Amino acid sequence: MLDGLRARSISIAITEKDRRHMDAIPIARRLRIMRRIMCRPPTEEQHLKGNTNYVKAILKLRATGLRLIDLQRQETAFTAIWYRKSTSVLGLLMSEAIALVVWELNERDEEITTLRIWRT
């Protein structure tokens, strides 16, 4: 079970600006994006141990232009989905990146961060 201090430090990594952006995304659009990632394997996957890797992963995603579109808190985990779409001058889709960050506390009280990235 997440204690208050851990939950607070993890949720601090998600800023108010992130939350406002997430709330502005229509639920139907979020679901379409999430369905796309469930249909195929990620292009990149990392499993990281340690208490700062979740925050580092979020900071790196934010620095590369990804924006929060979904955040879920479970009893012993946090799941965040980040998204970036690049378009051409004509408005055509050039590339897309979707990242799933899962922070979990295992039975030995170790913090594990899993980062999965899909690119098109």
Total-model pTM: 0.83
pLDDT tens, residue by residue, 89-113: 787 778 889 999 999 988 887 889 9
More confident residue, 99 or 87: 99
pLDDT tens, residue by residue, 55-80: 899 999 999 999 999 999 888 888 99
d(CA 87, CA 18): 21
Q: Per the structure, how many domains does the chain have? A: 1
d(CA 67, CA 71): 11
pLDDT tens, residue by residue, 4-47: 555 555 556 888 999 999 999 999 999 998 898 889 999 999 99
Question: With bands split at pLDDT 50, 70 and 90, how would you rate the model's confidence at 81?
Answer: very high
At residue 60's C-alpha, the angle toward residues 74 and 33, to 5°, is: 55
Give residue 54's domain range: 4-119
